[in-house]
Structure 1
Amino acid sequence: MKNRLFGFVVLMIVGLLPSQSRAQGRLYYFMDPKDSLIGVKDDKGRVIIPPKGAPIMYFEPGVPITDSLINLFDMDETDTGTALSFGSMYNRKGQFLYRPLAYDNGPDYFEEGLARCVQKGKVGFVNEQGKVAIRPQWDWVSPFNYGYAFACNGCYWDRNKDAEHPPMAYKENAKTFYINREGKSVQLMKQRKTEKDLPVDGGYLPYPFKYTAVERKILDEIEAMEVLSKIRNANIATKAEGKDALLQFEIVGRPSALSPYYKIQGYSNGSFDKEDPFLFYRALTGDYFQVGWDGKDKTPFAQWLKEALESCAQYFREHPDAPNKFDVNRYLERL
């Protein structure tokens, strides 16, 4: 009994580490009245990051900053390549970490534990601690999905065709390839070796995930929740059958000093496209949370499941002929 209690206490301490470290030193944005630039101070009024960010972001000076990585929009005048940066990223000590790729009107967000960074016009990746995980070396690279990213050199955005949403164009000597999480290019296979190999460009990329016995049990645990696939299929216009009707889950992040969670991503079976609503965090205590697309908003699993089921029920009332209709009350009664 004593050993079990000790183990529980250790797990609770690990789970509290990130929030405690943030609470120990509260940080706040402030604006310099002289030049209207934004910086960061601590709760004692000491300047952690001098004013340098242009005020293009919405912020509340009196609200504590909870993010472990802090973005300020200080322009880099040398940004002239295909990939442009969105200011600079700092840690909570005020130390510069990297220049994030400008994407979707802000700094690139983390996908499968990695976000894109820019250095001298080339793109690479950083991990969630803000450390360079894959050195910048490509003109462009996509976010990671299912353990792979598309990269190219000799490519550029053709703003002559569309200044606001330019298409990707390729020079005569351009090279394109797929990279793994180590930044190495991976050759396409002509034939699929396993049903979980990724189909792309007329070939296949090998199944990229490897697990310990403990991690395999975690995946077995969530894959046994058949209701998740039912929710995913609820508003699909065609009948979902066989393996295509089931979500496939993979662990895309593991507990670290900044996050005490396993991160579990759901993919559509067959195409292996990321299913955004089906990103879950699993605490070491076994508790689950559903996570928003930005990885910040966590909803207790039971609450999210109830809301998702109620949404399905509403859809079925409005579409009584829905081909993937199921007994919602059967699952609501278990909550």
Structure 2
Amino acid sequence: MKTNIIITILLVFISINICAQDNKLYIYWPDFDKDETICGYVDSNGEIVIPAGKYPNIFTAEFDKIAFVLLKDKKGVYAIDRSEKILFQICSFEFGPDIISNGLFRIIENGKIGFANMNGEIVIKPRFQFVYPFQENGFAIFCENGTWSMLDKYIPVIKGKWGAINRQGVIVIPATYDSGAEDYLIKDGKSYKLNKQGKLELKQN
């Protein structure tokens, strides 16, 4: 009897997950060999929901709650929801959207950078001049009063003062450091790496 109950629960769980997956939209190309940028979305039955070519390019293979796309009348990469409402601009310094790190990605609003998640929710309001993606330790390095540099795509901002925030957007290391990179801060020629507790440790070269 208990075995039958467990099997029933498992079958219900599996069916719920299948239905949830079926609710997604999937990218398709009418002629991938000719032009891989002309694409759209179909549902799990193969029915076209968003026609190919409506957006100049699509970067999200499985469209659950939001998708990253290019728009015909705006520069940059944007997030849209399932009703195709534009949510926000995605931070992008090359050709594609920002990486998703720790479930978050960077967004831009009025020249400031913040973070959102794949549910389409703004988690940290855009207020930083510049901030790197979140690292495995759960912290992100940010800059205040820096100067934008086009010379190095890996270090787009130089000078200014640098600090660190946690996933709630709380400043855990004040912006008092001379320089910063994706996962460490520099002061007086010494590099400091954040541990998982948000404490700085002298970085060994």
Partner of 2:147: 156
2:95 alignment counterpart: 105
Alignment correspondent of 1:66 = 62
Q: Which of 10, 15, 23 is matched with 1:8 structurally?
A: 10
Using a 3 Å threshold, how does the CA distance of structure 1 residues 164 and 93 change in structure 2: closer, same or farther?
A: same
| Pairing 1:134-145 to 2, within 5 Å after superposition | 134-145=124-135
Superposition deviation, residue 46 in structure 1: 6.1
Which residue identity is paired with 1:176?
W
Q: Determine the structure 2 residue equivalent to 1:19.
A: 21
Which stretches of structure 1, 4 residues or more, deviate above 4 A after TM superposition? 25-30, 37-50, 163-167, 198-201, 203-206
Name the residue aligned to 1:169: 158
User: Cα distance, 1:7 vs. partner?
Assistant: 3.4
**SS of equivalent to 2:147:** strand
Unaligned runs of 5+ in 2: 31-36, 175-182, 186-190
Identity %: 19
Aligned match of 1:222? none
1:1-335 pair list within 5 angstroms: 1=2, 2-22=4-24, 40=40, 51=54, 53-54=55-56, 66-68=62-64, 69-74=66-71, 76=74, 86-145=76-135, 146-159=137-150, 162=151, 168-170=157-159, 174-187=160-173, 201-202=191-192, 205=195, 207=197
The answer for the alignment partner of 1:299 in structure 2 is none
SS at match of 2:21: helix
Q: Does the Cα contact within 8 Å between 1:187 and 1:205 map onto a contact in 2?
A: no
| C-alpha deviation, 1:108, in angstroms | 0.5
Matched residue type, 1:179: I
Against the structure 1 CA distance between its residues 29 and 123, is the aligned structure 2 distance closer, same or farther, given a 3 Å change threshold? farther
SS in structure 2 at match of 1:124: strand
Give the distance between the partners of 1:7 and 1:45, measured in 2 at CA: 34
Name the aligned partner's letter for residue 131 of structure 1: E
| Cross-structure match for 1:290 | none
Structure 1 SS opposite 2:7:
helix
The CA deviation at 1:149 is 0.2
Tell me the matched-pair count.
174
Q: What TM-score, normalized to structure 2?
A: 0.64
User: How big is each residue's C-alpha offset from its partner over 1:244-268, in whole Å with a ceiling of 9 and x where there is no partner?
Assistant: xxxxxxxxxxxxxxxxxxxxxxxxx
Match of residue 34 from structure 2: none
For 2:129, give the aligned amino acid.
D
3-state DSSP class of the match of 2:168? coil
Q: CA deviation at 1:168?
A: 2.6
Distance 2:184 2:18 in 1: 41
Higher strand share: 2
TM-score (norm. length: structure 1): 0.42
Tell which structure's C-alpha radius of gyration is larger: 1
Q: Are the aligned partners of 1:48 and 1:94 in contact in 2 as well (CA < 8 Å)?
A: no
Alpha-carbon deviation of 1:116?
0.7
Query: What CA distance in whole angstroms lies between the structure 2 residues aligned with 1:16 and 1:101?
Result: 33
More helix by share: 1
Which SS does the other structure have where 1:111 is aligned?
Answer: coil
- How far 1:166 sits from its partner (Å)? 6.2
Cα RMSD for the two superposed structures: 3.9
Change (3 A) 1:39 1:20: closer
